[in-house]
Structure 1
Amino acid sequence: MSLDVTLENLNATLQQISELLRTVEIAILIVAVALSILLIGMTAICYYSKYKKYSLLRGDCQRHNTAHLLVSDA
């Protein structure tokens, strides 16, 4: 009788460990997806800020060149 109870307790413990590992697996998957989305977002923000910075610099240069040409024509 004692062996049967021990095996039942062992089986119950292994089932609980299995459920816990499944929960940990799902949590790791959620964290991985969140980090992937974060990485994509940060990359997009980085490229957008660089584009905006150089776009503004190009715009300033074009305005400066246009003003220079207008002064030269006069």
Structure 2
Amino acid sequence: MNAGPTTARDLKTALDNWTKVWNDEARPLKWTETADQILDRICRSCSRISDLMQAGSLLHELSRIERDAMRALSLL
């Protein structure tokens, strides 16, 4: 099992490789939601971030997001 990138350089290389594959296999973007639905989602995200900051758990949430991102990169 790939442990994923462990340094900033490894992360940059992984992202560069992913971008190259994505661009080589590019396809048109297909909207699946209306502009109002997208804006509603953005508002909900902003609200959650505000709530997390007020609750003092933003660092915990960012750590979880970082772990998820690193885990996703290891699947490349």
TM-score, length-scaled by structure 2 = 0.31
Larger radius of gyration: 1
Higher relative contact order (CA 8 A, sep 6+): 2
Structure with the bigger percentage of helix: 1
TM-score, length-scaled by structure 1 = 0.31
